């Protein structure tokens, strides 16, 4: 199966491009609960319920605060697709990283 690659220059371009392709839920991480949350649908799901479909990394050339990773994630069991945005580098959070690394990769 041929997979089309997408390239984005900014986080907002990635978010808009993914939304146009059906990744419409804005997921949040709740490390204290060890959950990925979809506030719009009042869902709290385990990282194991998801797969990472695509990853986009953006490096802050002048500001380390701009170092972000955008994950396009999906859960086939819960029929939901969306994006998860996380900082990396100086502003990364080890609790958040622990959740993200448990997501099943499907690239």
pLDDT in tens, 15-69: 999 999 999 999 998 888 889 999 888 889 998 899 999 999 998 665 555 688 8
- pLDDT confidence of residue 91: 54
**pLDDT score at 102:** 80
Q: What is the pLDDT of residue 81?
A: 96
- Give the pLDDT score at 79: 92
What single DSSP character describes residue 21? T
pTM comes to 0.83
Tell me the H-state helices in 1-107. Answer: 11-20, 94-102
Helix (H, G, I), strand (E, B) or coil at 51: strand
> For 79-104, how does the pLDDT look when each residue is reduced to its tens digit (9 = 90+)?
999 999 887 765 566 667 777 778 76
């Amino acid at each position: 199966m041929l997979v089309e690659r997408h390239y984005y220059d900014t986080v907002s371009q990635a978010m808009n491009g993914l939304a146009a392709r059906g990744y419409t839920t804005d997921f949040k991480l709740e490390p204290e609960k060890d959950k990925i949350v979809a506030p719009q649908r009042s869902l709290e799901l385990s990282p194991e319920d998801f797969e990472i479909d695509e990853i986009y990394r953006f490096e802050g050339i002048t500001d380390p605060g701009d170092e972000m990773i955008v994950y396009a994630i999906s859960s086939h069991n819960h029929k939901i697709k969306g994006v998860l945005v996380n900082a990396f580098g100086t502003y990364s959070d080890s609790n958040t990283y622990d959740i993200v690394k448990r997501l099943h990769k499907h690239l």
